[in-house]
């Protein structure tokens, strides 16, 4: 009876929009989510320890490219969206959604300390009834095995006093088509009643929901999605190495294969993996399987191939310079694009940074250009973005990220040598024979 009473109370508060929501973490995942929830009519607070983020939200200014200030500002002015660095706001929350980073440590093992810290902060402020949702990526079983017992240590009973769910974030920064509202949302909970409450909440601001049977299943969904991508990117990166040895155009092969209307999905090679998901999430899964004495061989092999790509690019540059009678040591090289994908400002795990390191290790003088990153803090130094007007000063240009605002015709025209890791110079190789080297 207590469980049904708690569920009924939360459903009523969700239904009439009187439920107060706190999103823990105001970053790439948390802020877009908080904006959607506030836009659905809930008083929503974005909690973050970084006062700069909090002050930006309070002033109606978005620090996330995918959240326009023109959308955020009115919600703040209406009092629907708030921001705070005071954990006391958790004490007034009917719903707490945790959106904190889950990186890898130096040994490539999962680091769930941010989730644990958020839970510890929540413990003395939990109240009945409450819905807690974890969106941060983690290994299958974490919500049930770690988070549930921790929250239950308060003396409050799961599925009587509080409900716990896991709903993996599916943020794709810079995607003009899919965003929080129209990206289907997977939800799992530790009980059928918890799932009903979580679905009722997310239904208010997400177009399509996909409920699954458990938090373990929802955690596995997220890891499968990004493992699928990592493994296939690893495959096509190795195909690029094969094509190089066979003197075959990788991109031509992929484009021709993609004409098959069934049984083939094109993936494209690149200088390595970057961002907050694809290089990291599969290793969460392989780590978990190691604890069960199972070796996730595809994941490990894909990680080896993808992790080797920045060094492979550096070898490509060295070989291309050598073919022109020039050593990489002392060469002036410009890396064009340092974010991990096009048209965003995020450099997390960007392979371009590793390319810079590998080239410098070989004695090259390396600069970069990226209008999305005016200044780069890397390896203890701050470097300003170089102007593309200086292309004639460089012995080689490496296209590491194919931003859409770059004039690649002009870039090739003004460059002595271009190593293109993204096929940004498609259609230009016949026009500039011998000047472009593909991955």
Q: What is the pLDDT of residues 353-400, one digit of tens each?
A: 999 999 999 999 999 999 999 999 887 788 899 999 999 999 999 999
pLDDT at 225: 96
> Which of these is catalytic: 99, 243, 277, 336?
277
**307 and 189 assigned to the same domain:** no
**209 and 258 assigned to the same domain:** no
Single out the residue in 164, 196, 215 at which a domain terminates: 215
Torsion over CA: 267, 272, 278, 281 (sign): positive
Annotated catalytic residue 277: yes
pLDDT at 196: 97
Q: Which residues pair with 335 in a beta bridge?
A: 368, 398
Domain assignment present for 102? yes
| Per-chain mean pLDDT for the chain | 95
Domain assignment present for 233? no
Q: Where are the beta strands (DSSP E) in 130-289?
A: 130-134, 162-166, 185-189, 209-211
Q: What digits encode the pLDDT tens for the residues 23-72?
A: 999 999 999 999 999 999 999 999 999 999 999 999 999 999 889 999 99
**287 and 179 assigned to the same domain:** no
pLDDT at 1: 61
Candidates 124, 130, 179; CA nearest to 150 is 124
Single out the residue in 197, 215, 233 at which a domain terminates: 215
Helix 297-323 to helix 351-361 angle (10° resolution) is: 50
**Torsions phi, psi of 389, nearest 5?**
-70, -15
Question: How far is CA 26 from each of CA 20, 48, 84, rounded to the nearest angstrom?
Answer: 16, 6, 10
Residues 6+ apart with CB under 8 A from 224: none
Domain assignment present for 241? no
Domain assignment present for 83? yes
pLDDT exceeds 70 at position 306:
yes
- For 287, the domain range is 249-438
């Amino acid at each position: 009876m207590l469980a049904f009473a708690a569920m009924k109370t939360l459903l009523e508060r969700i239904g009439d929009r009187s439920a107060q929501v706190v999103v823990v973490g105001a970053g790439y995942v948390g802020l877009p989510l908080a904006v959607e929830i506030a836009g659905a009519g809930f008083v929503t607070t974005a909690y973050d320890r970084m006062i700069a983020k909090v002050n930006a939200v309070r002033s109606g200014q978005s620090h996330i490219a995918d959240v326009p200030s023109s959308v955020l500002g009115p919600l703040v002015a209406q009092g629907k969206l708030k921001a705070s660095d005071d954990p006391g706001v958790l004490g007034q929350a009917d719903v707490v959604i945790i959106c904190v980073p889950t990186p890898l440590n130096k040994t490539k093992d999962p680091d769930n300390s941010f989730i644990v810290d958020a839970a510890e902060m929540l413990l003395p402020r939990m109240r009945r009834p409450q819905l807690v949702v974890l969106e941060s990526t983690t290994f299958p079983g974490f919500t049930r095995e770690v988070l549930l017992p921790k929250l239950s240590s308060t003396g409050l009973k799961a599925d009587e006093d509080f409900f716990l769910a896991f709903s993996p974030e599916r943020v794709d920064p810079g995607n003009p088509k899919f965003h929080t509202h129209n990206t289907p949302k997977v939800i799992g909970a530790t009980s059928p009643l918890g799932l009903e409450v979580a679905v009722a909440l997310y239904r208010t601001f997400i177009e399509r929901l996909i409920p699954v049977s458990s938090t373990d299943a929802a955690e596995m969904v997220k890891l499968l999605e990004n493992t699928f991508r990592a493994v296939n990117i690893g495959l096509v990166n190795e195909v690029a190495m094969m094509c190089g040895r066979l003197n075959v155009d990788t991109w031509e092969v992929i484009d021709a294969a993609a004409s098959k209307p069934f049984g083939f999905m094109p993936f494209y090679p690149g200088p390595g993996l970057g961002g907050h998901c694809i290089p990291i999430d599969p290793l969460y899964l392989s780590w978990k399987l190691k604890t069960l004495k199972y070796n996730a061989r595809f994941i490990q092999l894909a990680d080896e191939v993808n992790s080797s790509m920045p060094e492979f690019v550096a070898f490509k540059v060295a070989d291309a310079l050598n073919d022109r009678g020039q050593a990489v040591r002392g060469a002036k090289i410009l890396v064009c694009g340092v974010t991990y994908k096009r048209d965003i400002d995020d450099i997390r795990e960007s392979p371009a940074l590793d390319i810079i390191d590998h080239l410098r290790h070989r004695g090259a003088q390396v600069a970069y250009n990226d209008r999305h990153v005016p200044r780069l803090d890397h390896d203890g130094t701050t470097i300003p973005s170089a102007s593309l007007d200086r292309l004639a000063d460089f012995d080689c240009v490496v296209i590491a990220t194919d931003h859409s605002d770059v004039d690649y015709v002009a870039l090739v025209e003004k460059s002595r040598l271009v190593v293109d890791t993204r096929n940004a110079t498609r259609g230009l190789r016949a026009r500039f024979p011998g000047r472009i080297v593909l991955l």
